[in-house]
Amino acid sequence: MKTGIPLAVSFYLGFSVYILLMFVFGQSGIRSTAALRDHYSVLEQNIEDLRDIGAYLQLRRDTLLDDPAEARKLARSLGYFYEDEIRLILPDTEARISHTLGRAIRSYLPSTADQPLFRAIGVVFGSISFTGIFFLSRKHQ
């Protein structure tokens, strides 16, 4: 019976350490929840960027459908000409316009909580606390 109380206390302390580690570092812990919240805000920003790009492309398509001169200008910039046209290239007159269409969308990778490691830490902490409590209780008797 003398080892029962220290054993119960050390089991409780080891389990408490394990639960605390899982609460902070586990897959549903505080750190993972914060990372998921950050990823959610990045995805919201990506959605807004894609909406803006969609609106720009829709406007560009409407412009190309409604304005034949704009369509010819775009075709010439892509290298398409009428058969009787002659292409003259003057230095430093090429338009250097580039459009970035959104950012790379990366998938969310949750942090991998190492549960066996947390369990081992809890067991080691419980064993150390059992040893300490057991020897302290024997010392006082």
Cα distance from N-terminal residue to C-terminal residue, the chain: 14
Half-sphere exposure (Cβ direction) of 91: Cα atoms closer than 13 Å: 0
Q: For residue range 73-124, what is the model confidence (pLDDT) as tens digits? A: 888 888 788 787 777 666 765 555 444 444 555 555 655 667 777 788 888 8
Query: Is 33 inside any structural domain?
Result: no
Q: What is the pLDDT of residue 97?
A: 45
Q: What is the pLDDT of residue 98?
A: 46
Higher-pLDDT residue of 37, 2: 37
Is 130 found in the same domain as 97? no
Its domain, for residue 14, covers 1-26+114-141
Average pLDDT value for residue range 44-66: 90
Question: CA 60, 66, 70, 76 torsion: positive or negative?
Answer: positive
Characterise 29 by phi-psi region: left (phi > 0), alpha (psi -120 to 50), beta (else): beta
Is 140 found in the same domain as 101? no
Is 56 found in the same domain as 2? no
pLDDT greater than 50 at residue 1: no
- Least Cα distance to 27 among 109, 113, 108, 107 occurs for 113
Is 76 found in the same domain as 124? no
